[in-house]
Amino acid sequence: MSGETEANVSGWTTDTLHRWTIDQMAAHALLDDQRFESLEATIKVAVNSAKEAVDKAEKASEKRLDGLNELRGAMTDQSATYITRETVSAMTSALSARLDLIKERQDRMEGRGSGLQQGWGYIVGAVGLALGLVSLFNILHK
């Protein structure tokens, strides 16, 4: 006897309940497997997308660093052609010494020029004085 009353027969037995529970568990297991596969596929897509993004970022960073290295190399090459502070200082000192020599020569030449001009002035004055004396002598002796 199953313990059921005649008026309300459900047809459930322990065997049918056992079978129904196993079927329900199998259905849930199937749903769980489908959800897991779906989730696994979604995670794979997300991981692949993340890997691609990282690869692109690494390539962009590498290009940027290559550009910076080229710029650094160009700056190094350019700075190699710059004149050093010591060289400029030496050149300035040499030019200053030459300028001092030129000033001294110019001063000497101006001194000679003014001396010659004074000498010509004395000569012209002496000739004028001599002519004046000769003229005065001629006037007085007449």
Rounded to whole angstroms, the Cα distance separating 59 from 65 reads 10
Residue 24 lies in a domain: yes
Is residue 8 over pLDDT 50?
A: yes
Inform me whether the pLDDT recorded for 37 exceeds 60.
yes
Overall domain count for the chain: 1
Domain that includes residue 68, residue range = 13-82
Which of 123 and 57 is assigned the larger pLDDT?
57
What confidence tier does 7 reach under pLDDT thresholds 50, 70, 90?
A: low
% of the chain beyond a pLDDT of 70 = 90
Mean pLDDT, rounded, for 79-90: 87
pLDDT at 5 over 80: no
Q: In the prediction, which pLDDT does 1 show?
A: 45
What's the confidence (pLDDT) of residue 12? 86
> Amino acid letter at 110?
E
Residue 105 to residue 113: CA distance in whole angstroms: 12
pTM value surpassing 0.85: no
Q: Is residue 47 part of a domain?
A: yes
User: What pLDDT, on a 0 to 100 scale, did the predictor assign at position 83?
Assistant: 84
Note whether residue 115 is domain-resident: no
Residue 42 falls inside a structural domain: yes
